[in-house]
């Protein structure tokens, strides 16, 4: 009943590669467990190991080793459902997890391993203040200042401006490191991570992502230009960034993934062409003249669109493109005859752009433009309606003020500073998932819920069925903030209410696509494990305490609490449809068409066991204390063995 032990998983991976380096050692209780013989491992990697004080290219900071340890260490926690805070709980396909993202990411490791298509994070920026993510390995300010030589043993400062000497950068990196390592596991092979960041931690985050994802998987550094400050002392600023990494860049290349976006102003030009064709009476020369006159008004469009100034006899706008091959190839060098004079036209020294067969096809389609005679090099028609998309640009120009205003309109108050822009999120989520309409999107710094809002907005736009998982710490809002004045106590409360309102509004506006918005979400909260510690040695146990050790479930936990811990332990998705039925007088949970059937009643009858077995579920779970005796539990197993031998039966 703990999250996966990543250290054990890493040892298993080493065992597959180098079985001879695996040995045994005794744990704290004296039990044998697998371990790595590092002397043998060094021998296996003798040409590649970097040891000791040798110089190497790396990013280091105080607390890095501890951060790596905590990423791998298991936790005895679970996710408890909050049905009353959710929307359409039973059928929701989205998740809102309230709690520390480190715990949440650990708990999601088995259920969502390799499932996320895109992870978008806008982590809390390092302001130099006390850190809200107080991870267990973080040292106090006093410990850091003493160890780093900034104060003496009596606490007197030895170095001025201590905040600038690394502690806050180290804390921030230590917070991000384990979360990014765990998040990488959740990305699919073609998955992409987008991390928004400002100038303060851009360089550190870039190096950290290089370590976690591998520098070879870096894809892009997007510059986000917001409002600049005219009174700035140096540059106007207003810049944020988005660092983009792939889980496997080579896989993306092999799949010929290309991120595209519509050309700015494309629809405007298409409308102008259509208008010119209609006004000309479908006369190509006159339509071209009208279009060129329209271009003189200097409409705001992508620069490349301004070359589409001609309209042909089919009413399609085009430009005259080159026919020369960029590289010399023998099969591209052949005679091309002028259609009137019958003589060869001039050929580029590299040859033509197309093979003989393709060139003949283009000639038949009228896509080759010749001059009056053979002395002029021909050109090819490049039609506007075939050039709608372009490679997505690395510069985003969008003021955040518009996102703030939109959120105020939705919530009726200024409840969150600097929310993410929905339009920008939609653009990038759609681009990096190649328009995949069932993509899963994860944001483990959920903030005000912008990422979930963007996913629902994309679904409303194109009828998709994308899903989101948001994680947000139950961090208190400032007492003087607009959120506090509006009645909210935590940022998580703001995010949940934003998702409720945004979902309802999108459904109202979506019309026939309302069903695709999928505004439902399950609220789950990180909490301690549902089980109590009942493990005792004989000399620690008194006769009168034995009765209290029979039930290992905490008294304040419900059957639904236990159900979600079982889903986690079995690595099942936490959004599977759930229904509750009465069976032989007992409350029974049915998950995903009997993929799992569970009953956590305090007493389990043989009739109930037989009724569940007749349903032949894939998995069945009971509460261990629900059986009157060991014999009753063994009999239950025997009933399943006879009626439904394929069912995996467990008791907790």
Six-digit token string for 563: 């159900």
Is 496's pLDDT higher than 50? yes
Half-sphere exposure of 506 (CA within 13 A, CB side): 27
Judgement on whether residues 289 and 242 belong to the same structural domain of the protein: no
Return the beta strands (E) in 330-488 as ranges. 368-369, 379-383, 389-391, 395-397, 440-443, 467-472
Asked if residue 329 is part of any domain, the answer here is yes
How far is Cα 469 from Cα 443, in angstroms, rounded to an integer? 6
Judgement on whether residues 312 and 168 belong to the same structural domain of the protein: no
User: Would strands 586-591 and 578-583 be described as parallel, antiparallel, or unpaired?
Assistant: antiparallel
Q: List Cβ neighbours of 29 (8 Å cut-off, separation of 6 or more).
A: none
Judgement on whether residues 377 and 283 belong to the same structural domain of the protein: yes
Asked if residue 81 is part of any domain, the answer here is no
Judgement on whether residues 195 and 287 belong to the same structural domain of the protein: no
Is 10's pLDDT higher than 70? yes
Angle at 497 between CA 495 and CA 499, to 5 degrees: 70
Chain Cα centroid distance, residue 295? 42
Highest mean pLDDT among 226-230, 245-249, 264-268, 388-392 belongs to 245-249
pLDDT tens digits for range 550-591 = 567 888 899 999 999 999 999 999 999 999 999 999 999 999
Judgement on whether residues 489 and 417 belong to the same structural domain of the protein: yes
Half-sphere exposure of 381 (CA within 13 A, CB side): 21
Counting the structural domains of the chain, the total is 4
Is residue 74 classed as helix, strand or coil in its secondary structure?
coil
Which pLDDT band holds residue 157 (cuts at 50, 70, 90)?
very low
CB 534 within 8 A of CB 484: no
CB 490 within 8 A of CB 474: yes
Six-digit token string for 67: 């951060």
Q: Which domain holds residue 382?
A: 266-390
Last residue of a domain, one of 468, 489, 524: 524
Angle at 359 between CA 357 and CA 362, to 5 degrees: 115
How far is Cα 319 from Cα 311, in angstroms, rounded to an integer? 9
Asked if residue 61 is part of any domain, the answer here is no
Judgement on whether residues 169 and 287 belong to the same structural domain of the protein: no
Last residue of a domain, one of 359, 390, 421: 390
> Which has more confidence, 611 or 20?
611
Angle at 563 between CA 562 and CA 569, to 5 degrees: 90
Asked if residue 59 is part of any domain, the answer here is no
Is 138's pLDDT higher than 50? no
Judgement on whether residues 145 and 293 belong to the same structural domain of the protein: no
**CATH number of the domain that residue 200 is part of:** 3.40.50.150
How far is Cα 23 from Cα 34, in angstroms, rounded to an integer? 6
H helix intervals, 266-400: 266-279, 284-295, 356-364
Asked if residue 531 is part of any domain, the answer here is no
Rounded to a whole number of angstroms, the CA Rg of the chain reads 32
Q: What is the pTM of this model?
A: 0.80
Asked if residue 83 is part of any domain, the answer here is no
Judgement on whether residues 174 and 274 belong to the same structural domain of the protein: no
Of 303, 220, 230, 315, nearest in space to 272 by CA: 315
pLDDT tens digits for range 365-385 = 999 999 999 999 999 999 999
Judgement on whether residues 383 and 453 belong to the same structural domain of the protein: no
Is 538's pLDDT higher than 60? no
Chain Cα centroid distance, residue 251? 18
Judgement on whether residues 357 and 444 belong to the same structural domain of the protein: no
CB 335 within 8 A of CB 293: no
Asked if residue 606 is part of any domain, the answer here is yes
Is residue 437 classed as helix, strand or coil in its secondary structure?
coil
Last residue of a domain, one of 333, 357, 390: 390
In angstroms, what CA-CA distances link 391 with 216, 226, 261, 302, 431? Answer: 21, 22, 6, 12, 10
Half-sphere exposure of 622 (CA within 13 A, CB side): 25
Judgement on whether residues 415 and 378 belong to the same structural domain of the protein: no
Six-digit token string for 569: 């332990």
By mean pLDDT, which of 39-48, 255-264, 431-440 is the weakest? 39-48
Asked if residue 66 is part of any domain, the answer here is no
Judgement on whether residues 513 and 432 belong to the same structural domain of the protein: yes
Residue 238 CB coordination number (10 Å): 14
**What value does the mean pLDDT take over residues 518-534?**
89
Six-digit token string for 63: 């607390």
CB 130 within 8 A of CB 168: no
Six-digit token string for 520: 């439902």
Angle formed by the axes of helices 450-462 and 491-510, to 10°? Answer: 10
Chain Cα centroid distance, residue 416? 22
Percent of the chain having pLDDT more than 70?
87
**What value does the mean pLDDT take over residues 329-353?**
92
Which pLDDT band holds residue 155 (cuts at 50, 70, 90)?
low
């Amino acid at each position: 009943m703990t999250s996966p032990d990543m250290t054990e998983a890493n040892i298993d991976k080493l065992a597959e590669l180098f079985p001879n380096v695996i040995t045994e050692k005794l744990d704290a209780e004296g039990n044998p467990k697998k371990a790595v013989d590092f002397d043998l491992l060094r021998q296996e990697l003798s040409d590649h190991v970097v040891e000791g004080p040798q110089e190497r290219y790396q990013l280091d900071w105080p607390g890095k080793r501890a951060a790596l340890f905590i990423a791998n260490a298991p936790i005895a926690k679970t996710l408890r459902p909050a049905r009353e805070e959710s929307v359409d709980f039973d059928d929701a396909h989205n998740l809102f997890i309230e709690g520390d993202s480190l715990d949440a990411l650990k708990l999601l490791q088995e259920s969502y391993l390799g499932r996320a298509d895109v992870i978008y994070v806008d982590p809390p920026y390092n302001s130099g203040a006390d850190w809200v993510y107080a991870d267990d390995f973080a040292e106090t300010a006093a410990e850091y200042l003493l160890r780093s030589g900034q104060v003496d043993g009596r606490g007197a400062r030895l170095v001025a401006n201590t905040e600038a000497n690394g502690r806050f950068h180290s804390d921030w990196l230590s917070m991000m490191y384990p979360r990014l390592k765990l998040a990488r596991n959740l990305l699919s092979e073609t998955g992409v991570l987008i991390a928004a960041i400002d100038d303060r931690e851009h360089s550190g985050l870039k190096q950290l992502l290089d370590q976690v994802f591998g520098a070879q998987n870096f894809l892009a550094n997007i510059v986000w230009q917001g409002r600049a400050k005219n009174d700035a002392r140096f540059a106007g600023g207003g810049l944020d960034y988005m660092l983009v990494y792939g889980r496997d860049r080579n896989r993306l290349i092999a799949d010929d993934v290309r991120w595209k976006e519509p050309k700015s102003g494309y629809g405007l030009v298409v409308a102008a062409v259509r208008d010119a064709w209609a006004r000309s009476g479908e006369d190509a020369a006159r339509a071209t003249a009208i279009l060129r006159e329209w271009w003189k008004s200097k409409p705001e469009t992508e620069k490349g669109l301004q070359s589409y100034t001609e309209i042909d006899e089919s009413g399609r706008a085009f430009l005259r493109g080159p026919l020369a091959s960029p590289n010399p190839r023998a099969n591209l060098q052949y005679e091309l005859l002028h259609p009137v004079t019958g003589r060869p036209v001039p050929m580029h020294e590299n040859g033509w752009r197309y093979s003989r067969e393709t060139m003949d096809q283009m000639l038949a389609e009228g896509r080759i433009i010749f001059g009056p005679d053979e002395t002029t090099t021909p050109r090819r028609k490049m039609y506007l309606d075939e050039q709608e998309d372009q490679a997505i640009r690395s510069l985003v120009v969008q003021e955040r003020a518009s996102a703030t205003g939109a959120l105020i309109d939705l919530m009726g108050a200024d409840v969150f500073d600097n929310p993410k822009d929905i339009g920008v999120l939609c653009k990038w989520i759609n681009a990096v998932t190649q328009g995949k309409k069932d993509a899963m999107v994860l944001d483990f710094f959920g903030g005000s819920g912008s990422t979930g809002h963007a996913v629902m907005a994309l679904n409303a736009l194109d009828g998709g069925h994308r899903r989101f998982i948001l994680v947000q710490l139950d961090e208190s809002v400032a007492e003087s903030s607009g959120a506090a004045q509006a009645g909210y106590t935590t940022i998580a409360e703001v995010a949940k209410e934003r998702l409720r309102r945004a979902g309802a509004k999108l459904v109202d506006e979506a019309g026939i696509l309302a069903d695709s918005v999928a505004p439902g979400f399950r609220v789950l909260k990180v909490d301690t494990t549902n089980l109590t510690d009942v493990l005792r040695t004989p000399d620690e146990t008194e006769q009168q305490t034995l009765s209290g050790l029979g039930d290992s479930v905490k008294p304040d936990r419900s059957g639904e609490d236990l159900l979600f811990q079982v889903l986690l332990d079995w690595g099942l998705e936490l959004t599977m449809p759930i229904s509750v039925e009465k069976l032989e007088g007992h409350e029974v949970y049915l998950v995903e068409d009997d993929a799992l059937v569970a009953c956590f009643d305090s007493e389990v009858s043989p009739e109930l066991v037989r009724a569940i077995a007749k349903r032949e579920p894939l998995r069945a779970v009971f509460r261990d204390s629900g059986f009157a005796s060991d014999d009753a539990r063994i009999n239950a197993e025997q009933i399943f063995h006879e009626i439904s031998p394929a069912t995996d039966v467990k008791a907790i």
